[in-house]
């Protein structure tokens, strides 16, 4: 499942006031836009991000320069339109062909949690359209004006009422049809498009802290939540380091990162001796403080004789995920005099991404030689260094 996110940041935030667009405002040292992008960038199920900006923010000499935003996932900017639905339609047109689940999120909701994102993705995949929402707890009165004053027209049953949030998620074909059929009508959210197009929209549990920053009071409340830990939005990060080395011998296949590489020799070991998988396994286990590959899959255990190390990596990742951690990114350096590994880099990244339930964009891979020095330089062995960055779910 390829999940794409459209972050709607094309408005001016006129209700907030001031000269800067609201999404450029600072919240605990980062802009609202940066925090919203980061929430999806660190989510393991998200593959690409499209940010929709005011059209003049795309200019090199924009009066309000775009704050720098770096990501581990594929990200691009597109110009918005005069209305929200025009902006989202522009973002939808910029999605890759691979995207089959599309989320739309307001940049002004910078405190969205991993759990809300996950629930929306799962519900959209299952039901076609879904939004995060929170139930209304107060009694709601509908008003009408009489003699220049508001009066209660009726009391609405609060048990049936919810406050819509974002993200709002859709299977690609559902959002495409909703845009095609309802794009001319003024709507305040994408669920309104889907409703007009006749699609049922499922509600998933939102989060009261997933507020929309509309006023200075909202911004102050968000600052307080971050300061007091009431909103667990500042990511908890762990770094792990992994290393492995195996000798090259004749009569063995050369397997690195789950990919078999044509070469006259391969690595020797109790398993398939995939040094890349072994180093990455140790890196993620180390970051999560769950031991190491030798303890989990000892070479004294016949079960692991000639084992596929990609399977062992998947097992290790399942343990890491069960402990509450997600992979942010992995960086790998393979030191080998021969063979040349660059032709296989993309295949290795894709293979590892599948085992780690992330995107290939989150996997860095580099091949280096040892300039003829020592056993690696003489072509007698291959060594691998790996670094893993994990974040708490």
Same domain, 139 and 270: no
pLDDT in tens, 351-360: 999 899 888 8
Same domain, 211 and 149: yes
> Quick count: other Cβ atoms within 10 Å of Cβ 101?
24
Q: Please tell me the distance from the alpha carbon of residue 360 to that of residue 305, in angstroms, as a whole number.
A: 29
Same domain, 188 and 332: no
Residue 232: predicted pLDDT: 47
Helix (H) or strand (E) holding 390: strand 381-392
Same domain, 280 and 256: yes
Dihedral (Cα; 53, 56, 57, 62), 10-degree rounding = 180
- Which stretches of the chain drop beneath a pLDDT of 50? 232
pLDDT in tens, 130-164: 999 998 888 999 999 999 999 999 999 888 899 99
Q: Can you give the CATH number for the domain in which 106 is found? A: 3.90.550.10
Same domain, 193 and 322: no
Helix (H) or strand (E) holding 330: strand 325-335
Strand partners, 243: 385
SS3 category, 382: strand
**139: preceding bond cis by omega (within 30 degrees):** no
Residue 13: predicted pLDDT: 54
Same domain, 326 and 211: no
* Cβ 87 vs Cβ 8: under 8 Å: yes
Question: What residue numbers bound the domain in which 79 lies?
Answer: 3-228
- Residue that is last in its domain, among 207, 228, 249: 228
- Residue that is last in its domain, among 169, 195, 228: 228
Same domain, 194 and 152: yes
Same domain, 125 and 217: yes
DSSP alpha helix (H) spans, the chain = 32-41, 84-93, 114-127, 172-182, 190-196, 216-228, 275-288, 293-296, 309-322, 345-356, 374-377
Residue 59: predicted pLDDT: 64
Same domain, 179 and 270: no
How many domains in the chain?
Answer: 2
Same domain, 220 and 319: no
* Cβ 314 vs Cβ 285: under 8 Å: no
Same domain, 202 and 275: no
pTM of the model as a whole: 0.59
The two structure tokens encoding residue 357? 């339930």
**167: preceding bond cis by omega (within 30 degrees):** yes
Residues 6+ apart with CB under 8 A from 374: none
Q: Can you give the CATH number for the domain in which 355 is found? A: 3.30.1330.50
SS3 category, 112: coil
Strand partners, 168: 104, 131
Same domain, 159 and 62: yes
- Residue that is last in its domain, among 228, 246, 270: 228
Residue 17: predicted pLDDT: 52
């Amino acid at each position: 499942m390829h999940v794409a996110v459209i972050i709607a940041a094309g408005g001016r935030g006129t209700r907030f006031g001031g000269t800067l667009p609201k999404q450029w405002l600072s919240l605990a040292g980062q802009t609202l836009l940066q925090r919203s992008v980061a929430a999806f960038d660190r989510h393991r199920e998200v593959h690409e991000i499209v940010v929709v900006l005011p059209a003049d923010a795309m200019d090199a000499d924009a009066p309000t320069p775009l704050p720098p935003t770096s990501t581990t996932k594929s990200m691009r900017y597109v110009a918005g339109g005069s209305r929200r639905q025009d902006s989202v339609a522009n973002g939808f047109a910029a999605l890759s062909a691979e995207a089959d689940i599309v989320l739309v999120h307001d940049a002004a909701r910078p405190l969205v949690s991993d759990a809300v994102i996950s629930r929306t993705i799962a519900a959209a995949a299952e039901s076609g359209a879904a939004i995060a929402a929170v139930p209304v707890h107060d009694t709601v009165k509908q008003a009408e004006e009489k003699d220049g004053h508001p009066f209660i027209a009726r009391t609405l049953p609060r048990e049936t009422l919810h406050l819509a949030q974002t993200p709002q998620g859709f299977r690609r074909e559902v959002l495409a049809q909703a845009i095609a059929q309802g794009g001319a009508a003024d709507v305040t959210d994408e669920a309104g498009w889907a409703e007009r197009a006749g699609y049922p929209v499922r509600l998933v549990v939102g989060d009261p802290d997933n507020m929309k920053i509309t006023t200075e009071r909202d911004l102050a409340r968000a600052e307080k939540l971050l300061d007091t830990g009431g909103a667990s939005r500042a990511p908890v990060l762990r770094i792990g380091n992994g290393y492995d080395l195996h000798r090259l011998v004749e009569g063995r296949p050369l397997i690195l990162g789950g990919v078999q590489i044509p070469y006259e020799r391969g690595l020797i070991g109790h398993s398939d001796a995939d040094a890349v998988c072994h180093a990455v396994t140790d890196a993620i286990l180390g970051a999560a403080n769950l031991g190491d590959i030798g303890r989990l899959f000892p070479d004294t255990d016949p079960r692991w004789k000639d084992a596929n190390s990609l399977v062992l990596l998947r097992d290790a990742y399942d343990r890491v995920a069960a402990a509450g951690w997600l992979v942010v990114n992995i960086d790998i350096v393979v030191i080998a005099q021969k063979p040349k590994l660059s032709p296989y880099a993309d295949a290795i990244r894709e293979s590892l991404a599948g085992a780690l339930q992330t995107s290939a964009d989150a996997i860095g891979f580099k091949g280096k030689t040892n300039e003829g020095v020592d056993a690696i330089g003489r072509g007698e062995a291959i060594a691998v260094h790996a670094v893993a960055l994990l974040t708490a779910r």
